[in-house]
């Protein structure tokens, strides 16, 4: 009787301990899983499967619960090799490792701590991790913004020279006054972009601010047309940079580098919130010097294409037609654009 009672008490304590462990395991807001490594797979490569995982594991990775117990070489064939190599090294050496790594397949960045558990021959590794994609995206954006500040400062001289050329072409009598006004407009354009970084900005205001240094050409050689549309802060920043870059290139090489070229800036917003709104923005040049595609892609294309696409979720097309540059942004879902 005494032995049976002691055994039952021990079993109850074990069940209570397991219940506490499961409660804590499931409550951890970090992803946590236990991996079983196969270091001698038939094809000679390392493989592993998830044998235990908390709810945050599935939420942070996007893996379905059906992945549990599946060998990942087969269940997730696009998963990058570096995961297998890192966990295999931990299983072999027993040395824990902490690192930050992006998974292209999952589309996320992770901060990971991996360590061996159980006996070495079990080849089991525990992994604790966080999804740090938002932080990494912000770091990348900050780096891009710093590069943009540097790029803009280098472009500023070209813009001022272009303003001087256009101002001088209209006559020398009021050159200083007109030139001073244009320089002030250029400064005001920068103020608008950064002052409204935390609230919506009308696209028409943004377009005019980025072309303010060429203000007397708006309505004559520069056409700005589209419905009232409030941009999100991120879209304001990205499209402001893109319009600035397009204007700079037009003044240096394109339609605004001569006395006859024209630019048409147009945008549309179609559909409604229930069916999804489609947004399009176009920058079309004509009448300028013949256009040729540049031999290489520089930082300007990063701003006008890469940054715009990533921020708005849209697609940019650029046509270096001989008649003039044609730049277009199309967003099937305008959520990343309209505030």
* pLDDT tens-digit series, residues 112-127: 999 999 888 999 999 9
Q: What is the pLDDT of residue 276?
A: 78
For residue 24, give the 3-state DSSP assignment.
helix
Q: What is the pLDDT of residue 18?
A: 61
C-alpha to C-alpha distance for 16 and 122, rounded to whole angstroms: 26
Q: What is the pLDDT of residues 244-265, one digit of tens each?
A: 889 888 888 899 888 889 999 9
Instruction: With cut-offs at 50, 70 and 90, classify the pLDDT of residue 11.
Output: confident
- Spatial CA neighbour of 217 closest among 257, 173, 157: 257
Q: What is the pLDDT of residue 152?
A: 62
Tokens linked to 72: 């990942």
Q: What is the pLDDT of residue 333?
A: 87
Q: What is the pLDDT of residue 209?
A: 85
Q: What is the pLDDT of residues 186-221, one digit of tens each?
A: 566 567 656 665 567 889 988 988 887 777 888 889
Q: What is the pLDDT of residue 137?
A: 85
Q: What is the pLDDT of residue 286?
A: 94
Minimum mean pLDDT range among 14-18, 55-59, 87-91 = 14-18
Res 3 pLDDT > 70:
no
pTM (predicted TM-score): 0.52
Q: What is the pLDDT of residue 234?
A: 77
Answer with the residue of higher pLDDT: 6 or 229: 229
The number of residues making up the chain comes to 339
C-alpha to C-alpha distance for 131 and 110, rounded to whole angstroms: 5
Instruction: With cut-offs at 50, 70 and 90, classify the pLDDT of residue 225.
Output: very high
Q: Where are the alpha helices (DSSP H) in the chain?
A: 2-27, 55-61, 72-75, 81-93, 133-169, 175-195, 203-210, 233-252, 299-301, 308-312
């Amino acid at each position: 009787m005494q032995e049976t009672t002691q055994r039952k008490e021990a079993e109850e304590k074990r069940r209570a301990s397991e219940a506490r462990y499961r409660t804590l395991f499931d409550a951890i807001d970090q992803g946590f899983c236990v991996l079983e490594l196969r270091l001698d797979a038939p094809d000679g490569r390392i493989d592993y499967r998830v044998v235990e995982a908390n709810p945050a594991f599935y939420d942070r990775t996007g893996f379905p619960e059906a992945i549990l117990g599946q060998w990942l070489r087969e269940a997730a064939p696009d998963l990058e090799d570096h995961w297998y190599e890192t966990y295999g090294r931990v299983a072999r050496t027993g040395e824990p490792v902490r690192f930050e790594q992006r998974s292209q397949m999952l589309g996320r960045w992770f901060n990971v701590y991996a360590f061996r558990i159980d006996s070495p021959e079990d080849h089991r590794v525990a992994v604790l991790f966080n999804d740090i994609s938002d932080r990494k995206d912000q770091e990348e954006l900050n780096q891009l913004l710093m590069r943009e500040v540097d790029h803009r400062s280098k472009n500023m001289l070209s813009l001022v020279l272009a303003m001087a050329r256009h101002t001088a072409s209209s006559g020398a009598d009021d050159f200083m006054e007109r030139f001073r006004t244009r320089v002030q407009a250029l400064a005001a354009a920068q103020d608008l972009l950064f002052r409204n970084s935390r609230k919506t900005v009308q696209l028409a205001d943004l377009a005019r601010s980025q072309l303010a240094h060429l203000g007397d050409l708006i309505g004559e050689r520069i056409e700005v047309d589209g419905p009232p549309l409030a941009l999100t802060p991120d879209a304001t920043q990205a499209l402001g940079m893109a319009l600035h870059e397009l204007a700079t290139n037009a003044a240096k090489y394109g339609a605004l580098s001569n006395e006859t070229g024209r630019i048409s800036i147009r945008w549309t917003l179609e559909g409604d919130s229930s069916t999804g709104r489609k947004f399009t923005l176009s920058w079309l040049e004509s009448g300028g010097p013949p256009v040729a595609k540049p031999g290489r892609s520089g930082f300007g294309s990063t701003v006008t294409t890469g940054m715009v696409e990533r921020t708005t979720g849209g697609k940019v097309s650029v046509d270096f037609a001989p008649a003039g540059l044609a730049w277009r942004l199309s967003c099937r879902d305008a959520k990343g654009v309209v505030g």
